Chain A
């Protein structure tokens, strides 16, 4: 469905407002007219506009001041200054202050039509450009799925297989494990990669808003529905809809959602037109949906619909061998972002980071590294750049293991580190060598040197 451009007119003369609104509606635009700058600023705060036509001479606030204040709220709204009293000075001032154009009343129909069409075409390109940049940025994050552990390799292998199908996928995992990244990776390796990827968090919205968010609404469907709006389902047409925290969806919305999944068609709230969509649904949760089904809080039929393919993203503490790789990845990423040269994370800090349990998973690790890079003044990250909480908790683990790094030599640290990685990889020599970034022969030599042996049983 074509979106109707929204134009705001600010002019103190009633006849100008009326004739502009009439003329714009004949031309297929939706416009609203207000008679002073204060009202215009309120309108700009309340919704997005594609264009503002602002009269230069108005009693309460002149057009230039309206433009200044509007630009403070939203610097990208194109503004055309209109005036019945043109002077070179005001034209120059208007353009300097950022007006898109300056036109004289009465307008030549050809001129005003061309100005509006050019602005709207430009706005469309700006919006498309912004969307594509965001998508490009997000697609690059596919490389953020880092992990050589067997659990992550299994996930990536399953991901490649399911990406080719059209099945719904339910991604389970604790907060911060990267469920959305997995969903984005499925989308960007699927046949729908050229279509949109639309994410919606079921936890972030109350029941009434979630319905409108998913299915859209018609103008006037409820208080506050000032214009027709597409829902996420419609926006995801020919692409993928990702429902995060699906376990938080209320029972009523679950019923509507199930119906749309089955019939692939729906009506906007307050609308009568049946809208057909071709959407692949991926969902994620950190809750145990089976238990919610048992308790009657989640529909069993919807659960089976969503759970055609299940993927379990392991918590970081269950794939500690990936921690050094993730650290390396985030160090590179944030060093570039912050314009710093960070060469490594020193042994002590690395030890703490590997031992810590990471309840917030990869997201917590990423935030920790980002923070460390922001505060670090050296070319490496040491203990002092790590938050006290992490150091305290990790050293508790260390004490439990009767291990104190304060008295250890470099060789002891190396020995301990190799031992940690071997335990984490369940003594898989190839994997451990990969994590340590040494070849297997070197690892065998070090095992011999440090008299490390695989524990029996």
Chain B
């Protein structure tokens, strides 16, 4: 799974991607009432663990993420910043009571990683429903969109790379 994500990042952003050692999810991130983890806390932990020579970093977690105003999020990023975090919790077929599908999970994770990293390059949500930068409200929308940028977003990201 991680290797697939690594390949996806390298081919999309024309860069070298490295898999780091895992870090602990901060205990303070847990909201016991919601049984979810505050995404912002995890994002801060990822930032704290970012090596100096790193251009961008994305944390991948299995816990269910939330921000206070939303019921859940697939991931979060610093807009025009360095770090992002993505959760596989709701990308997994098992969450929906369906049999495990590793390939599908890898594909979904790849899309969300590219999406969040897109934000770190300053891209905002795209109106093109096929573009990876299109906002996904549900797993269905994650599946509908492609794992690459539309023409407009490609132009924008190329300028930034």
Residue positions of A touching B, CB distance < 8 A: 13, 15-16, 19-20, 22-23, 25-28, 105-110, 112-114
Who on chain B is nearest to A15 by CB? B68
Interface residues of B (CB under 8 A from A): 34, 40, 66-73, 76-77, 79, 119, 124-125, 135, 137-138
| From A16, A109, A113, contact of B68 by CB (8 A) | A16
Report the bound CA distance from A134 to B66 in whole Å: 46
- Residues of B near A25 (CB, < 8 A) are 79, 124
Cβ–Cβ contact B70 & A23, under 8 A: yes
Of A19, A26, A108, A114, which is within 8 A of B119 by CB? A26
Number of A-B contacts (CB under 8 A): 57
| A22–B79 CB distance below 8 A | yes
B71 lies within 8 A of A107 (CB): yes
**CA of A20 to CA of B73 in the docked complex: distance in angstroms?**
13
Give the distance in Å from the alpha carbon of A274 to the alpha carbon of B37 in the complex: 47
Q: Would you list 9 pairs from A and B whose C-beta atoms are within 8 A, ordered by A residue?
A: A13-B68, A16-B69, A26-B119, A27-B125, A105-B68, A106-B68, A107-B69, A108-B70, A109-B135
Give the residues in chain A near B119, CB-CB below 8 Å: 26
Q: Is B79 in contact with A107, judged by CB distance below 8 angstroms?
A: no
- Is chain B's binding surface mostly helix, strand, loop or mixed? loop
Cα distance A28–B135 when bound, in Å? 11
Contact A113 B137 (CB under 8 A): yes
- Report the nearest A residue to B136, measured CB to CB: A109
Choose among B73, B119, B135 the residue with the greatest number of A CB atoms under 10 Å from its CB: B135
Q: Which residues of B contact A20 (CB under 8 A)?
A: 69
A22 surroundings in chain B (CB, below 8 A): 67, 76, 79
A20 and B68 alpha carbons, distance in the complex (Å): 9
Q: Is the CB of A113 within 8 A of B135?
A: yes
Complex Cα spacing A15 to B67, Å: 9
Which residue of A has the minimal Cβ distance to B137?
A110
Q: Cα distance A113–B141 when bound, in Å?
A: 13
Residue of B nearest to A29 (CB): B124
Residues of A within 8 A of B40 (CB): 19
In angstroms, Cα B77 to Cα A100, docked, is 30
Supply 13 further A-B pairs (C-beta < 8 A) apart from A20-B69, A105-B68.
Answer: A19-B67, A22-B67, A22-B76, A26-B77, A26-B135, A27-B124, A27-B125, A106-B68, A106-B70, A107-B69, A107-B70, A107-B71, A112-B70
